[in-house]
Amino acid sequence: MRRRENLLFLFVLILLILALCIVLPVNQGLLFHKDFQLGLDLKGGSYLLYQADLSKKDPALSDAQVMAAVESKIERRVNSTGTTEPIIQLQGNNRILVQLPGVTNSSEAISAIGAVGLLEFKQQQLDSSGNVVNDANGQPVWIPATALGSDGTTQEALTGAYLKPNAYVETDSSGKPEVAFEFNTEGAKLFGEITQALLNKPLGIFLDGTLVSQPTVEAVITDKGVINNIPLDQAKILVNQLNSGSLDVPLTVIQQTDVDATLGADSLRKSLTAGLIGIACVALFMIVYYRLPGLVATVALGIYAAILLAIFKLVPITLTLPGIAGFVISTGMAVDANVLIFERMKEELKRGLTINKAVQEGFHRAWPSIRDSNMSTFITCIILYWFGNTFGAFMVKGFAVTLFLGVAISLFSAITITRTFLTQLVNNGMMKNLTMYGEKKHD
């Protein structure tokens, strides 16, 4: 029995040292150099949920194929913006979740990610006598510019699909930005035929149905071209869209949340301060009310916090504001198991048991209550996790995860750590004085 307790004591100590090595900011290189992963609400950023219009997809492809293609294109677009640690996930069968840490207040960048990015080359429609046809507003009507494909039978419309993925922004002779692009072999053939047909006529370049540029064709061009008359920020977006390829279906933003980075940092600081003050109050209360066991419980609480934080870092668990609240609340609850045990111990002492016996009985008898009562918290946590996960509420999910882990570790801490420490103290005869248990000496 003694031997087992000593082993447990050793085990707890090793665990604590490991946890501290992981958590403490000093000696970062010691074990698993990693930072805490913070959610968007704490570091700022954009959370976007896009819905795809699958009715516009190519009927030859399945929904899943289309969504996978869209996802990888979005991923390419996001990555090329240089966002650190973005999250891109498919949700359900027609939604894409995009989380962009650090990106806020830039609706243009955001709409660029979700825009189809379809580049089309068009020509003005001519009537039978060769005059330009105008629409009701007096504007020329544009129709897709087509040419005979290399199979020699079908008329192919020239689009961004025939570009090489190496478009870039350059400046023209007058220092204005323009987008340079290159056609692939098939595209070059089509463009050659089209420019031939449109010599000295305007060529319309459309992006997602909007005319961006209409140069007049001055020579037969095959391999490459430029789109000019475009602001620099739009030029960058266009390059990104051209190189990632146009999306297979149109997307709309159906949910968006932006948190300013300053606000996030402020929230983090506030919640951590609040947490520390709260935990300090708990420790003070435990020591004043339960004396020695209270002190032991406080030490156990410290170890508990270290282990939990180490798990957050290792897994890693994304910390959100409610997640931190869940962690802080779980420390309050972690004490609960100890309170149950100590109250039991006091009762056993009152019944006249020796300290040794009272400690053992206290743990033994409080356990069923602790187990039964915490199970309901586990049940709600699991349901909350599902709830948060199904519609992408990262804050709800964060809370469920930290509360669940917190309560689970707290059970371990109350049963194993507090018990081991108390037994050690009692066994070594260090604590004979009953007043140290907040109990009057009995005669």
233-262 positions binding other proteins, by CB under 8 A: 252-260, 262
Q: Kindly list the distances between the CA atom of residue 97 and the CA atoms of 86, 199, 214, 258, 297, in Å, as whole numbers in the listed order.
A: 10, 46, 36, 14, 43
C-beta of residue 147 within 8 angstroms of C-beta of residue 193: yes
Q: Which stretch binds other proteins (CB under 8 A): 13-21, 181-189, 305-313, 323-331?
A: 323-331
At 183, the amino acid letter reads: F
Please say which residue, 312 or 394, places its beta carbon nearer to other proteins.
394
Q: How many helices (H) and strands (E) does the chain have?
A: 11, 15
Q: Which of 377, 416, 424, 427 binds other proteins (CB under 8 A)?
A: 377
Positions in 326-365 near other proteins (CB under 8 A): 328-329, 331-333, 335-336, 339-340, 343, 347
d(CA 88, CA 75): 7
Instruction: Provide the token pair at 334.
Output: 């972690």
CB of 335 to other proteins, least distance (A): 4
Please say whether the beta carbons of 243 and 32 come within 8 A: no
Rounded distance, CA 112 to CA 381, Å?
37
Of the two residues 99 and 146, which places its CB atom closer to other proteins in the complex? 99
Our CB check for other proteins shows the closer of 36 and 168 to be 36
Shortest Å distance, C-beta 39 to other proteins: 11
* Smallest gap from residue 147 Cβ to other proteins (A): 34
Read off the tokens for 370.
């602790």
Given the complex with other proteins, which of 198 and 325 has the nearer CB atom?
Answer: 325
With contacts defined by CB under 8 A, how many residues of the chain interact with other proteins? 73
Do residues 66 and 58 touch, judged by C-beta distance below 8 A?
Answer: yes
- Residues 279-308 close enough to bind other proteins by CB under 8 A: 279, 281-282, 285-286, 289
Q: Considering just the CA atoms, what is the radius of gyration of the chain in Å?
A: 33
Binding mask 107-136 for other proteins (x = CB under 8 A): xx-xx-------------------------
Is residue 383 part of the contact set for other proteins (CB under 8 A)? Answer: yes
Q: What is the footprint of other proteins within residues 137-196 (CB under 8 A)?
A: none
For 100, list phi and psi in degrees, rounded to 5. -120, 95
The correct pick among 148, 274, 288, 430 for binding other proteins (CB under 8 A) is 274
Q: Name residue 231's beta-bridge partners.
A: none
State the Cα–Cα distance between residues 383 and 404, nearest whole angstrom.
11
Residue 89 engages other proteins in binding (rule: CB under 8 A)? no
> Given the rule CB under 8 A, which of 77-85, 131-139, 182-190, 388-396 is the region that contacts other proteins?
388-396
d(CA 438, CA 266) in angstroms, rounded, equals 41
- Under the criterion CB under 8 A, does residue 93 sit at the interface with other proteins? no
